Structure 1
Amino acid sequence: MTDERRQDTLPLFPLQTVLLPSTVLPLHLFEPRYRQLAADLLTGVIPDRRFGIVAIRNSAVREVESLDHVYTIGCTALLAESKRLPDGRYDIVTTGERRFRLLSIDRTRAPYLVGEVMWLPDEPLPPGGREAAAKLSASARSAYQRYCESAWERDSWQPPEPGADLAQLAHLLAADCLLPLADRQQVLEETNPLRRLDLVHRLLAREAGFLSALRAVPAPPPEVYELNAPAALN
């Protein structure tokens, strides 16, 4: 059994978005330090093709220099696919895995940031929690459907499988919805599976209500279509 509370080091990629466990995030890497990160991931310099993603607190931050500049709860990203472009840039696809707490940042160890992290596991489901989980799951899935039917074309979204793991369900439901960064961060930081599912239910119901009232499709936030804008990356 692995020690979830042990400390490890991870290369870091600060972004103006939040990666959630079990969800997919594509990235376009053009800065030299992140090209080097991709090369190190692909050649085994960084083991297991994993790095950490943390959200930047303020879009005005141009260079992450301390813990104050980022949310300290982040998520590991597994490099699933990669394509090196002729000019040296990379297009990669990552999958969110484990949540961590960022303890410190080292700006001298590598061209990119490196962080000391402690793993942050979920709390166990309380006795008798399965019944409450079933009710919350149904409510959250209903809010998810209302949101997606208002926001997207029918063939552009797919609800999680009926047997999706409870620990993953809230993250999977939130992934298809354009929640504000602070809300996504709140979902990431919640370690109680039942509270997390209730939170996602409330957030999606709120957003579905906004869409219904405004009769408008939400515009993607900047990080969705321009993840490597100079103001967003370091």
Structure 2
Amino acid sequence: MTERLALFPLGTVLFPGLVLPLHLFEDRYRRLVGDLLERPEPRGFGVVGIQLGHEVGDGAAHRLAEVGCVAELREATRHPDGRYDIVTVGARRFRLKELDRSRPYLQGEVEYLPEEPGADTGPIARRVRRLYRLYRHRLGAAGDGPFDEAEPPDDPVAMSYVIAASLVLDGHDKQRLLECEDATLRLEAERDLLARENRILDVLPMIPAGQFLDGSFHPN
């Protein structure tokens, strides 16, 4: 069963449970937020990765990822000139089945995806947690100051998403993590990525981590 959902193409991957603030200035997305604010809660739109093209301008996003994440609107501040600053939180993942480019903003028919822990998550979760601790320590040592030492949650699904969002990776790797069918597969992929990144940080300990981190606001 599919559902019609407003879409927001973005050069950032959103994961369930994670916060995404946005600064919106394009007319189409100002209208999207205005339409959402007229509806009862929960109010959501689909964040979907751009695989070819860019974020702004008419027809900018030429090819979109197949899997995205619903962004639930939690806060919206409207500026006098019509721009919005909004805060969203990632909710359900979806698979994009069909696009509708005929409206002021992009819409699509989407199919929501289940969130399964997968088989035997305990051993892989413990291994990933150890690698993640080492990664955060090395990344903090390479940057301008210590990173947050908070532990990821125990729930394997939530843990897999928190770690996916925290890793300093390119968009392709982030999208691959979002598309994993269950938490076990995602944690296995994160194990391999963390092992790779730890090797890199061990060899190149003086690269400032801050230059790789995304800013809090994404202009769209």
> TM-score scaled by structure 2?
0.86
Contact kept in structure 2, 1:16 and 1:59, CA below 8 Å: no
- C-alpha spacing 1:60/1:146, structure 2 compared with 1 (3 Å): same
Shift of 1:155: 5.2
Aligned mates of 1:26, 1:135 — CA distance in 2:
34
Corresponding residue SS for 1:69: strand
2:183 paired with 1:189: no
* Deviation string, structure 1 residues 2-47 (Cα, Å, up to 9, x no partner): xxxx200100000011111111111111111111111112221x86
> TM-score scaled by structure 1?
0.82
Shift of 1:168: 1.7
What does residue 3 of structure 1 align with? Answer: none
- C-alpha spacing 1:212/1:63, structure 2 compared with 1 (3 Å): farther
Aligned mates of 1:8, 1:155 — CA distance in 2:
40
Contact kept in structure 1, 2:7 and 2:48, CA below 8 Å: yes
- C-alpha spacing 1:155/1:211, structure 2 compared with 1 (3 Å): closer
- Match for 2:63: what amino acid? H
Q: RMSD of the TM alignment (CA)?
A: 2.3
Aligned mates of 2:3, 2:17 — CA distance in 1:
21
| Unaligned 5+ runs, structure 1 | 1-5
2:10 paired with 1:19: no
- C-alpha spacing 1:158/1:58, structure 2 compared with 1 (3 Å): farther
2:91 paired with 1:112: no
Contact kept in structure 1, 2:97 and 2:108, CA below 8 Å: yes
What does residue 227 of structure 1 align with? Answer: 218
- C-alpha spacing 1:226/1:82, structure 2 compared with 1 (3 Å): closer
What does residue 3 of structure 2 align with? Answer: 8
Question: How do residues 137-176 of structure 1 correspond to structure 2 at under 5 angstroms?
Answer: 137-152=125-140, 153-154=145-146, 156=148, 158-161=150-153, 164-176=154-166
Aligned mates of 2:201, 2:52 — CA distance in 1:
26
Aligned mates of 2:49, 2:58 — CA distance in 1:
13
Alignment coverage as a number of residue pairs: 213
Decide which structure has greater strand share: 2
Shift of 1:182: 0.4
Aligned mates of 2:89, 2:35 — CA distance in 1:
18
Matched-pair identity in %: 39
